């Protein structure tokens, strides 16, 4: 199971020595848990576009997603995290891999300001539960805190 607190502590230590690696480190640590975290990416918001900053998993050409499009863009537009147990049931879903069955998107915020999203795709149906939501929220919150002042 993902241990968000462990990752939070690493990110807090890392930000002093290697601030540019913080986003990549978060992606790496989540992805290395293995399935169901099959594809892990972090998109950062730039105007009304989510721009892919780092990812691990199969190559994707979805490097830019407009706010309001896809599960990622909808999470930003609605200002809430999204846990989609079956991507086929969502008409605004944007397919990145034909294998993907479920997806979770967690907002990265600094206070009210949305900075981006952690996006995770799974090849397993209904892969993510409350524990994933909670642990990912921990990681997203510290990313928001660390990135907020750097993205002003």
Minimum CB distance to ligand SME, residue 4 (Å): 21
From CA 61, how far away is CA 114, in angstroms rounded?
Answer: 23
Task: Output 120 or 146, the one with its CB closest to ligand SME.
Answer: 120
Name residues whose C-beta falls within 8 Å of residue 136's C-beta, 6 or more positions apart in sequence. 2, 4, 30, 104, 106, 118, 120
Minimum CB distance to ligand SME, residue 95 (Å): 7
From CA 142, how far away is CA 86, in angstroms rounded?
Answer: 28
Residue least distant from ligand SME (Cβ): 70
Catalog residues that contact ligand SME under the rule CB under 6 A: 39, 41, 60, 62, 65, 70-73, 93-94, 96, 103, 119, 121
The partner residues of 83 in beta bridges, in order of sequence, read 104
Minimum CB distance to ligand SME, residue 21 (Å): 21
Task: Output 69 or 135, the one with its CB closest to ligand SME.
Answer: 69
Task: Output 4 or 70, the one with its CB closest to ligand SME.
Answer: 70
Minimum CB distance to ligand SME, residue 17 (Å): 29
* Other Cβ atoms within 10 Å of 60 Cβ, number: 15
Please, what sign has the CA dihedral across residues 76, 80, 81, 82? negative
């Amino acid at each position: 199971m993902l241990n968000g607190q462990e990752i939070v502590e690493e990110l807090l230590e890392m930000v002093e020595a290697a601030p540019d690696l913080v986003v990549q480190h978060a992606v790496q640590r989540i992805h290395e848990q293995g399935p169901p975290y099959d594809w892990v990416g972090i998109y950062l918001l730039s105007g009304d576009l989510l721009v892919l900053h780092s990812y691990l998993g199969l190559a994707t050409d979805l490097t830019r997603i407009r706010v309001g499009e896809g599960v990622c863009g909808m999470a930003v537009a609605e200002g809430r995290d999204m846990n989609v147990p079956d991507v086929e049931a969502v008409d605004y879903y944007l397919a990145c891999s034909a294998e993907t069955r479920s997806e979770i998107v967690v907002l990265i915020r600094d206070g009210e300001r949305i900075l981006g999203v952690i996006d995770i795709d799974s090849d397993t149906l209904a892969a993510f539960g409350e524990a994933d939501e909670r642990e990912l929220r921990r990681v997203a919150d510290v990313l928001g805190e660390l990135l907020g002042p750097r993205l002003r």
